[in-house]
Amino acid sequence: MILRSAAAALALTASTFAAAEPAITTFTLDNGLQAVVIEDHRAPVVTHMVWYPIGSADEPAGKSGIAHFLEHLMFKGTDEIPEGAFSKIIAANGGTDNAFTSYDYTGYFQRIAADRLGLVMKMEADRMRDLVITDALADTERDVVLEERNQRVDNNPGSLLGEQMNAMLYRNHRYGVPIVGWQHEIESLTRDDAMDFYARHYAPDNAYLIVAGDVTPEEVERLAIEHYGPLEAAGRPPEVRPQEPPSLTPRRIALEDERVRQPYIVRYYLAPTRGTGDTETAAALSVLAQILGDGITSRFAQAMEAGDKTAISTGAWYSAKSRDPSSFGIYAVPGAEVELATVEAGLDAVLATLKEEGPTEAELARVKRLMRAAMIYAQDSQSSLARRYGSGLVIGLSVEDIQNWPAMIEAVTAEDVRQAARTYLTLERSVTGWLERKETEEEQG
Amino acid sequence: MRTLTHIAAMTALLATPAAALDIQSHTTPGGIGYWLVEEPAIPMVALEITFEGGARLDPAGQEGAANYVAALLDEGAGDLDAVGFAEARDAISARFGFSAGRDSFSVSARMLSESANETAALLATALAEPRFDADPMARVRGQILSSLAEAKTNPSTLARDAWFARAFAEGHPYASPVAGSEESVEALTREALLAAHGRLLTRANVTVGVVGDVDAATASALIDTVLAGLPEGEPVPPAPVAEAPPAGVQVVELSVPQSAAIFGHAGLRRDDPDFFPAFVMNYILGGGDFSSRLMEEVREKRGLAYGVYSYLSVLDGAALHLGSVQTVNARMAESLDVIRGEWARLRDEGIDEDALERAKRYLTGAFALRFDSNAKIAGYLVFMQREDLGIDYYERRNSLVEAVTVEDVNRVAAKLLDPDALSIVVVGQPVGL
């Protein structure tokens, strides 16, 4: 009975989706700053974000971690904002702030009462060009970053494996270098390194402004002209990044660590993305990731969790929103007493079948329905709406591209998915990693 | 300085109340009281249901039962096996979350308003008729055991578990992790899970909040559908009240480059007249991210950690003032010294008017930021009802913060903060501890 009524619900969902899109407005300032305004009038709050299309993949060789180090230093002060006061001023106005760094971008944001938008714009505009950093500040903050690396990576064998696998997947592209940086290179980063990177990349014509919340586009534009308008454009052409050579050989790696209690196998495939312009393939790969790895009805779970019960957990993911070719990942966690080789063979068997037969129409329909619903649920979070636009613009997508994505997903056929799997999920394009427990002498004895 | 003057002028405007939130109180025809906020902007409904009790009701030797039940409610119910249930849920694009906490069992559902009735019917079977089939039981048990095994080498998880194990006497429900131990989870039978299910999900212990594109009549019908199959039950007994945690440092050896520490002592209950002064005091001490004293001293001045926090943790049977920090092994002793020093400085010297004003401006202004989604508002409706704060609490809350004085904070700091009483667990290979 439930299934029958659900079919009726499905027909309605598509129309509701179209009606429910939030109001989006765009404008560009004379100095090149591009802005997107997302209206959300449910509460008198605003999310204000500035995204620079510059991330760890744009770092000079030998300076890994500089994009992220600079992100930390951006909170230290400007010619107008006293040392250490940036976040305190935001907090004293009832707001919260933070920032994030990735391979392709660095972003800064505040969430605050809507009547404070002018204040946070003034402060964000100020630190776009007028950052002030002392050597002493940089020295202390470098220690903070090293602790962050310890916490995120070195304390966790799974993170170490991922770092090693990326270094093998990308032979020429900077996606192979960790965002936080290699420890020995972080240790040598200086204040001048950060200021050079800042001067080179932070400018209004290399930035995107995203404002979501209880605002009008007219008011946002007026404030943006007032605060960001006076900043001078840098006029630099976009950086050209080294690209990957053809992938000819499968790579394998095993990380043994005595801290490991749960072994697993994970594989990365080099795959095109939305940023590389092959949007049809990116849409097909997005659908493929869901069919393979989303929930108990997915292919991997059906075969290995519910089926032969060799795995207790399986999954797949795909970084569609990357500027350059990036990774499609799969993993399996074996049950007790099951070998890693067994679950690796299980993953490969599922892939072989899918490459041969493609997905069923029912699988395709399920995934598309869930992706449609996800768009509606995403509107419940102002921050995630803002992130959807920011993370698209920084990899070179237009607002239209971003809004078109659901239609691209709708257009994916079973044959598209099959072809994407056959073309891109090949061992030659992959790195396979095993995480294993290293037996200590005591245990062996 | 120019900037600061400008900012000071702006703050005068800030005492605005949080967003108007029209909270309605209703009782369903089936007799369930609940709170509702109608929010038609997005065609979805968020439903939050909490049952009092949670993991603290797990009998001795069956620790982890509530957590195991939560992990199995979407793994087959009524006529549907695990796959059938997932297909039915996906067909109506509903999202369900089930989780066990120390004092409660929570159900979070999000649904498209157009398929709300079907969603309620499916959720009802999950709550009332879970199957606990052998296959999903074995698979989910494997997942839980795997995460318990992994937790043994995760310094921050291990520190938290060790802190609670040390702070609470053996046999107290808070002494063991919500997920239980490998031994207790291995031993849980289907009968034990059925018993736990009967104990955990009863109408007498339920609190409900609804937010979204739905009116009261529809919301009432949805709730009655969802809870129809559950027994009335009895209100759960109050949690056993615990002694203060033992002072001193315990080190748990683990081969990692960076140690993790949990520190804490007794805090205040939410119904204590000094709760709001304590809340403001903790914001200044370690609750306010980059504005807190701990962050300033540990991270900003010395670069000892990526983050350091303190918070008031109010459990049914214990009120705690807790904190956490992660620092490279060689400097953990220094981090803890700095933290104890800040504990003592706030106790001995108190705060000034300026610090209080900045704290109030943040706490009153940021209150509205918590409610930027239907799901978060639904969670808050449940919180206000469970704590018996009154339906006007949302509007009164900022005035409770505003009423706190410097004397209040200093009096509470002197009473509550005691660096010598801190119970500290460090996991790693800290030098000099």
DSSP characters over B351-415: --HHHHHHHHHHHHHHHGGGGSSHHHHHHHHHHHHHTT--TTHHHHHHHHHHT--HHHHHHHHHH
Q: Chain A contact for B371, CB < 8 A?
A: yes
HSE-up of B428 (CA within 13 Å, CB side)? 31
- The amino acid that residue B223 corresponds to is I
- Give the pLDDT confidence score for residue B20 in this predicted structure: 75
- Give the pLDDT confidence score for residue A239 in this predicted structure: 78
Q: Are B326 and B155 in contact (CB under 8 A)?
A: yes
Q: Are B96 and B48 in contact (CB under 8 A)?
A: no
- Give the pLDDT confidence score for residue A218 in this predicted structure: 97
Q: Do B303 and A156 touch (CB under 8 A)?
A: no
Contacts of B139 in chain A (CB under 8 A): 305-306, 309, 312
Rg, Å, chain B Cα set: 23
Residue B74 and residue B89: Cα distance in Å, rounded?
Answer: 9
Residue B241 scores a pLDDT above 70? yes
Q: Chain A contact for B2, CB < 8 A?
A: yes
Residue B419 scores a pLDDT above 80? yes
Q: Which residue of A has its CA nearest to B112?
A: A373
pLDDT, tens digit (0-9, with 9 covering 90-100), for B106-122: 999 999 999 999 999 99
Residue B286 scores a pLDDT above 60? yes
Residue A71 annotated to the active site: yes
HSE-up of B333 (CA within 13 Å, CB side)? 6
B49: closest CA of chain A, how far (Å):
19
Phi-psi region of B81 (alpha: psi -120 to 50; beta: other; left: phi over 0): beta
Q: Are B317 and B242 in contact (CB under 8 A)?
A: yes
B424: closest CA of chain A, how far (Å):
19
Q: Which residue of A has its CA nearest to B88?
A: A3
In the beta sheet, which residues pair with residue B386?
A: none
Residue A406 and residue A400: Cα distance in Å, rounded?
Answer: 11
Q: Do B112 and A16 touch (CB under 8 A)?
A: yes
Q: Do A306 and B139 touch (CB under 8 A)?
A: yes
Contacts of A94 in chain B (CB under 8 A): 14, 361-369
pLDDT bracket for residue B18 (50, 70, 90):
low
Least confident range from B18-27, B71-80, B287-296: namely B18-27
Contacts of A382 in chain B (CB under 8 A): 372-373
Contacts of B91 in chain A (CB under 8 A): 2-3, 6-7, 9-10, 366, 369
Contacts of A314 in chain B (CB under 8 A): none
Q: How many C-beta atoms lie closer than 10 Å to residue A401's C-beta?
A: 15
Q: Chain A contact for B128, CB < 8 A?
A: no
pLDDT bracket for residue B13 (50, 70, 90):
very low
pLDDT, tens digit (0-9, with 9 covering 90-100), for B88-112: 999 999 999 999 999 999 999 999 9
Q: Which residue of B has its CA nearest to A138?
A: B303
pLDDT bracket for residue B9 (50, 70, 90):
very low
- Give the pLDDT confidence score for residue A7 in this predicted structure: 32
SS3 B50: strand
Contacts of A15 in chain B (CB under 8 A): none
Looking at per-residue confidence, does A10 or B267 come out higher? Answer: B267
- The amino acid that residue B224 corresponds to is D
Which of A71, A141, A344, A363 does the annotation list as catalytic? A71
- Give the pLDDT confidence score for residue A140 in this predicted structure: 95
- Give the pLDDT confidence score for residue B19 in this predicted structure: 59
ipTM of the prediction: 0.89
Q: Chain A contact for B181, CB < 8 A?
A: no
Q: CA A349 from chain center: how many Å?
A: 29
Rg, Å, chain A Cα set: 24
pLDDT, tens digit (0-9, with 9 covering 90-100), for A13-70: 333 344 456 889 999 999 999 999 999 998 889 999 999 999 999 999 999 999 999 9
Least confident range from A136-150, A291-305, B4-18, B39-53: namely B4-18
| Residues 6+ away with beta carbon under 8 Å from A291 | A298, A299, A354, A359, A363, A364, A367, A417
Residues 236-255 of B with CB under 8 A from A: 254-255
SS3 A429: helix
- Give the pLDDT confidence score for residue B237 in this predicted structure: 93
> Average pLDDT of B129-135?
97
pTM: 0.92
Element containing residue B101 per DSSP (H, E): none
Q: Do A94 and B361 touch (CB under 8 A)?
A: yes
pLDDT tens for chain A, 445 residues long, are 233 333 333 333 333 344 456 889 999 999 999 999 999 998 889 999 999 999 999 999 999 999 999 999 999 999 999 999 999 999 999 999 999 999 999 999 999 999 999 999 999 999 999 999 999 999 999 999 999 999 999 999 999 999 999 999 999 999 999 999 999 999 999 999 999 999 999 999 999 999 999 999 999 999 999 999 999 999 988 778 999 999 999 999 999 999 999 999 999 999 999 999 999 999 999 999 999 999 999 999 999 999 999 999 999 999 899 999 999 999 999 999 999 999 999 999 999 999 999 999 999 999 999 988 988 898 888 888 999 999 999 999 999 999 999 999 999 999 999 999 999 999 999 999 999 999 876 554 3
Helix then strand then coil, % of chain A, to nearest 5: 50, 20, 30
Residue A360 and residue A372: Cα distance in Å, rounded?
Answer: 19
- Give the pLDDT confidence score for residue A442 in this predicted structure: 55
A396: closest CA of chain B, how far (Å):
29
Beta strands in B4-140 (DSSP E): 24-27, 33-38, 44-52, 95-100, 104-112
Q: Chain A contact for B149, CB < 8 A?
A: yes
Q: Which residue of B has its CA nearest to A382?
A: B372
- Give the pLDDT confidence score for residue B372 in this predicted structure: 81
Q: Which of B367, B359, B360 is nearest to B286 (CA)?
A: B359
Q: Do A80 and B41 touch (CB under 8 A)?
A: no
